[in-house]
Structures are given as C-alpha cells and as structure tokens.
Amino acid sequence: MSGILEGKRVLITGVLMESSIAFHAAKLAQEQGAEIILTAFPRPTLTERIARKLPKPTKVIELDVSNDEHLARLADLVAEELGGLDGVVHSIGFAPQDALGGNFLNTPFESVATAMHVSAFSLKSLTMACLPLMQNGGSVVGLTFDAQYAWPQYDWMGPAKAALEATSRYMARDLGKQNIRCNLISAGPIGSMAAKSIPGFSDLAAVWDSRSPLEWDLKDPDPAGRGIVALLSDWFPKTTGEIIHVDGGLHAIGA
C-alpha cells in the first residue's frame, strides 16, 4: 500500500539534529512516499550530516529566511531538484539570548524585532518564496508553542509565536483561493537544539509532568512529526487556519 504522501514534493526547514521535530517529519515524509528537500542555516554542513540518517538521500539548500537574496533564489534551486512543491514545513524560530530566560521587561526592541522577523514573519516570506512552485495548491505546516499562555522562561518567543499563529490564519485567508492550506502544529516541549537555547527550559518542561493527561516524553519528537505529515497529506483537504495540538492534551487542562 502506498503512503499518504505518495507523489508529494515537500520542502522542510529546521533539520538540525536527530532530536528535532523537523528531522522526524522529514523521515516520516520519505517513508510515506514524499520526495523532500531540506533547507539549513547557519550551518548547512551540519544538516547535510544529519540528513545522511534519513531513509533516502536528499539535497540541502542554504536558506537564511531573513535574507532577501536567499529567498529570491529559493524557487529556482528547488525547481532544479523537484520541479515543483506540494508542501512546505516551517520549523524555524530564533530569539537573541536577551529575549529569553526571564528578561522580558528588559529586552531591547532590536532583539524583539529579530525574534519576530525570524520566528513569525518568515512563515509568510518562506511561503511566498515557494508560491511559484505550488501551482496545483498544497499545504503549509508550521510549528508553534501554544501562545495562549505566558510560559516560564519563554519571554519574547511567546509574542513571536502569537504573531506566527496570527500570520498562519491570515495566510489561510489569502491563499485559500489558490487551494493552499496553512496550518500549525502546537507541540509540547522537546529536548531539541531550540529547547537547549532557552535558559531554564527544564522549568518550562516541568509543567507537563503535573498537568499533561497523556504521559509526555521530552525525548520523543515522533508524535509531532506525525502531525506534520498528516497535515501535509490529502487527509485534511478542507482544514486551514487551524492549530492542531500535539501536546499530550495539556492545552485542555486548567490545573
């Protein structure tokens, strides 16, 4: 039986380590029949090394989503490899250290602006860079961390994720006419490279020990990867502007 992504061509950002959600999305996408291409920044060689652990070889393109020249050349580079695209995975987030770890009230705007540009605006800029390749519609899937709440240590990444969630809804509104769906996976905490950059990450992750209805494993990015692959597939043909929680159910529990 063929996989749920048979014949799909997907661009995936954010593969930094085997522990990253993006790596597991890439692995599952290949197992489900997709052809994929990866982007990486600032160290494409690191992603190339990790990509060797995927089931099939895949090309890695250097892409800084805050660099207009990188974005302008992206469609041509992807077209050379895949011809077109049916899906895009946005797994990109960054905030300077002074925007994290309990420094919310003292963070300068320059650092906030960087967090917003890389973590939220890039969903729009990446999608628009890929749009010429999505002539037959497709699916854009991003990753968020539930922006309904103020989390310990997360600071300005919280407002950045809120902006990401709003951006996804507006993209769903404006790209629906081209049969392009835009959705987000709201994943629970994973001990990835991104997590390690957050001072006091263990304080944030500890919330899941007491409140998550389903047992949560910080070392298991597979459930979130499965959520991404499901949204890339044709099994959600009329779902857009949505946030699917893959967080053990914590979002539904008050205390």
191 known member of a binding site: yes
Task: Please report, for residues 37, 40, 125, 198, the alpha-carbon distance to residue 63 in angstroms, rounded to integers and kept in the order given.
Answer: 12, 6, 12, 23
Please indicate if the annotation marks 65 as binding a ligand.
yes
CATH class of 7-246: alpha beta
Retrieve residue 158's tokens.
């919280």
Structure confidence at residue 197 (pLDDT): 66
Encoded tokens for 126: 């990446």
DSSP secondary structure letter of residue 236? S
Write out the catalytic residue numbers: 154, 161
pLDDT surpasses 90 at 254 = no
Q: What does the pLDDT read at residue 62? A: 97
In angstroms, rounded to a whole number, what is the distance separating the alpha carbons of residues 105 and 17? 32
Model confidence at 200: pLDDT above 80: no
Q: How confident is the model at residue 70 (pLDDT cuts 50, 70, 90)?
A: very high
Are 51 and 38 in contact by the 8 Å Cβ rule? The answer is yes
Confidence of residue 193 (pLDDT cuts 50, 70, 90): low
Average per-residue pLDDT for the chain: 94
Instruction: Dig out the tokens for 186 from the structure.
Output: 């709201």
pLDDT at 194 (0 to 100): 62
% of residues, the chain, pLDDT over 70 = 96
Answer yes or no: are the C-beta atoms of 109 and 115 closer than 8 Å.
no
Q: Cα(93)–Cα(117) distance, rounded to whole angstroms?
A: 9
**What would the mean pLDDT of 57-78 be, rounded to a whole number?**
97
Q: Is 139 flagged in the annotation as binding? A: no
Among all chains, which residue has been given the structure tokens 């979130």? 224
